[in-house]
Structure 1
């Protein structure tokens, strides 16, 4: 938490001092006396699907929810709606960024609580609005961006309409977006429910997703986002769900899906280059290669302590991947040895490793063109 003891750092900014007269505790977030805090950003805004959802789906009518045991079995607060046994990727990343608390779900915060950020992610969501409808209600990326727009309006009231001060504040915040997995798993490759595979080739579908995603991220930019992390889609052709379904002869993984998402991932990286190249002046985007990091973690599993890389710790059927973790099901005893928690989602240990690589790795194969620690320091 930013120190409240030394007010001298506030005197340098008259706008901030004016705001303090109305919302006295805002200085907890804006005061950037580096010697007195390890928090690297004043706020953290999160967009995504079940990989980073932390409870937004709890109160809606959907099968994509995780507000029951054994989900959260290793999380300090117990079951919260996180789709894993403990911390998610963004939970671990928030800790690395120095936040004293986890970023709360948008579904349960409003007003000045939004000053430290919000998690808008929703299980089953995608770039396309119809993605995930087979599982029930959810907040698509378009809805999440709209919710962030409402957040900006609430923050504008806290800043007494001072758009300059609000823009300066948001420019220091970290934004994370991880989308696309469900646009393949719960759309394009679910041919009994969706017609997109008949309407688009894999190349055309990737291009359609990229066009929509570029527009959505540009909207975030227009609403003040300047430090933005964009994660690619991981190696979802190799998750337990696919391993349980796929009957290919040459490989355990479904390389048809892996090849399709590689087209999308390549486009996301080019999009980040375009944004950084002047398309969105003043912004700095970081591309996280989740495909590379997930592939490397499997290849070097033993060095990280993982013994089981093809089965979920909790689930039903082949590879514990045919049906996801059921209420009150008994999970594996030692979660630290499993790469996957259930049919789709990594364990807490895997999430922590992914977060550390993205945060501080000097390899551009994980974070490009800079890592998250460097992004926060800009």
Structure 2
């Protein structure tokens, strides 16, 4: 879903955003397709509709994600002197939507349906760091909030399990030092700042630091729920594989 950040007048409301989605400017912060779209297509399902589209068909699933959302609430972010000017719909808000959706669509047989469903919790948490770094916070300052971000995500996963979910993917962060926005913002003439793929090493090392904490927390949670299929989604290495094989895949 998109809120004020991605209306028609914004950058992500114009081409090339959405260029691979029927040449339609969807307002999504991508070429149009999202990770969950590819999962749906490979599963033989229609693309998931956003929860806020009240006229949509949610028979095959629903998307609660919001562009620019954070795991931490805006109030907690503000206490840390980090502003989210994009949306107030943090992870806890999305979980409340999830709860209300289940109450209205499957109040009696929800748990049986959810046992056969796939839940994707994220990628979430990365925007805390994107916003913080873009607003002048140091990497060391961002490291200090990693445990809180991770525990917020783990709490969300527990809520999803309590709803009846048994198949859950929790993705980690991307190699943010390879993202064009970060490369532009933190551009430098110091060649040692970059790796062989011209990615910012310090930012990628931070992403690895965060991902390691998230993965460890997921592993601990799996011990408490041995009958749940709980998987860490390794977006970092998937992205790096594409980057390393870009010429061959082009």
State which of 281, 295, 320 in structure 1 corresponds to 2:240: 295
Question: 1:256 matched to which residue of 2?
Answer: 202
Question: 1:239 matched to which residue of 2?
Answer: 179
Within 1, Cα distance between the matches of 2:95 and 2:154? 12
Structure 1 residue 127 corresponds to structure 2 residue 71: yes
Q: CA deviation at 1:232?
A: 0.8
Q: 1:238 to 1:276 in 2, by over 3 A?
A: same
Question: What are the Cα deviations for residues 303-327 of structure 1, in whole angstroms up to 9, with x where unaligned?
Answer: 111xxxxxxxxxxxxxxxxxxxxxx
Structure 1 regions of 5+ residues with no counterpart?
Answer: 1-55, 306-378
Structure 1 residue 83 corresponds to structure 2 residue 26: no
Question: 2:4 matched to which residue of 1?
Answer: 61
Q: CA deviation at 1:71?
A: 2.4
Within 2, Cα distance between the matches of 1:124 and 1:72? 17
* TM-score normalised by length of structure 1: 0.57
Within 1, Cα distance between the matches of 2:117 and 2:29? 25
Structure 1 residue 150 corresponds to structure 2 residue 90: no
Q: CA deviation at 1:203?
A: 4.0
Question: 1:14 matched to which residue of 2?
Answer: none
Q: CA deviation at 1:156?
A: 3.2
Question: 2:54 matched to which residue of 1?
Answer: 109
State which of 136, 157, 178 in structure 2 corresponds to 1:217: 157
Within 2, Cα distance between the matches of 1:208 and 1:95? 34
Within 1, Cα distance between the matches of 2:55 and 2:213? 35
Contact 2:48 2:58 in 1 (8 A): no
Q: CA deviation at 1:62?
A: 2.6
Following superposition of structure 1 onto structure 2, how do residues 191-230 of structure 1 map, counting pairs within 5 Å? 191-192=135-136, 201-230=141-170
Contact 1:276 1:285 in 2 (8 A): yes
Q: 1:206 to 1:93 in 2, by over 3 A?
A: same
State which of 166, 178, 191 in structure 1 corresponds to 2:110: 166
State which of 111, 117, 127 in structure 2 corresponds to 1:182: 127
Q: CA deviation at 1:276?
A: 2.1
Structure 2 regions of 5+ residues with no counterpart?
Answer: none
Question: What are the Cα deviations for residues 167-207 of structure 1, in whole angstroms up to 9, with x where unaligned?
Answer: 011111011121122111112x1334xx7x59x74443211
RMSD of aligned Cα (Å): 2.5
Q: 1:134 to 1:127 in 2, by over 3 A?
A: closer
Q: 1:73 to 1:298 in 2, by over 3 A?
A: closer
Within 2, Cα distance between the matches of 1:105 and 1:220? 18
Structure 1 residue 140 corresponds to structure 2 residue 82: no
Q: Which has the higher helix share?
A: 2
Q: 1:68 to 1:275 in 2, by over 3 A?
A: same
State which of 209, 213, 217 in structure 2 corresponds to 1:267: 213
Q: 1:299 to 1:73 in 2, by over 3 A?
A: closer
Q: CA deviation at 1:102?
A: 0.5
* TM-score normalised by length of structure 2: 0.83
